[in-house]
Amino acid sequence: MKNVDDLIESAAELAEGGLSKGEIADELNVSRETASWLVERSGTAATARDEPAGGTQDIHVDWSAVGRDSARLGHVGAAMADLLSKHGEEVDLTIGIEKAGAPLATTVARELDTDLGTYAPRKHQWEEGDIEEYGGSFSRNFAQIRDRDCYVVDDTITSGTTMTETIEAIQDQGGNPVACVVLADKQGIDEIRDVPVYSLVQVIGVGSEE
């Protein structure tokens, strides 16, 4: 994807396919607010130059060149695992945040020789209103928390809300999140709830006030 018009078109296709706005945000690696704006623009005559409500700026991270090739995915997963390796060999569970975090977590788990679990965040059900009304869940098809130490893996951090939710969900299950790792961090977050956060790339917005 090269411009906002492409994102608007993709958002429209995803919405027509039945995805919630939270799922669209996840697919396009943008915030929920930006996903709503993209969907709304797809159904109007507004131009792509129009800014989201409130003038909010977001950054789209396209890592499909990695995601569509298993070898590249494995190499990137190895690099992410290397960031976590400083925490030793006691951790035996890696949790991937669905959807995009799950394949990355699979490669990380293989590198670190841990079990694999996945968490579906509440944003996948979100359409409008207070996201706290929705609930996330751990998949029963994969390893369960069972009071274990674990790593958390996702593709991007946009606001930190999903990572925070996942950490709290793990703790609610009696688990101990030791560290988190993502491909790209839009916020420059070093830790969440006293859990260290690592990223391969930090995206820093630079601008000047008029």
Helical axes 32-42 vs 21-28, angle rounded to 10°: 100
Strand order in 195-202's β-sheet? 137-138, 115-120, 93-97, 149-157, 176-185, 195-202, 191-192
Tell me if 158 sits within 8 A of 58, measured CB to CB: yes
Q: For residues 86 and 14, what is the distance between their CA atoms, to the nearest angstrom?
A: 39
Neighbours of 76 (CB within 10 A): 20
Q: Where are the domains of the chain?
A: 4-55, 64-202
Residue type, 116: L
Name the CATH topology of 4-55.
Answer: Arc Repressor Mutant, subunit A (1.10.10)
Q: For residues 111 and 105, what is the distance between their CA atoms, to the nearest angstrom?
A: 10
Q: For residues 36 and 39, what is the distance between their CA atoms, to the nearest angstrom?
A: 5
Domains 4-55 and 64-202 belong to one CATH topology: no
Nearest to 151 by CA among 76, 83, 100: 83
Tell me if 60 sits within 8 A of 7, measured CB to CB: yes
Q: For residues 123 and 199, what is the distance between their CA atoms, to the nearest angstrom?
A: 22
pTM score, whole prediction: 0.76
pLDDT (tens, 9 = 90+) of the chain, 210 residues, equals: 456 777 678 778 887 877 777 677 767 767 667 777 777 777 754 444 455 444 456 777 888 899 999 999 999 999 999 999 989 888 999 999 998 999 999 999 999 999 999 999 987 665 666 556 667 899 999 999 999 999 999 999 988 999 999 999 999 999 999 999 999 998 889 999 999 999 999 887 665 454
Question: Burial letters for 125-135: b for 16+ Cβ neighbours within 10 Å, e otherwise?
Answer: bbeeeebeebe
Name the CATH topology of 64-202.
Answer: Rossmann fold (3.40.50)
Residues contacting 65, CB < 8 A, separation 6+: 72
Q: Is the peptide bond before 99 cis (omega within 30 degrees of 0)?
A: yes
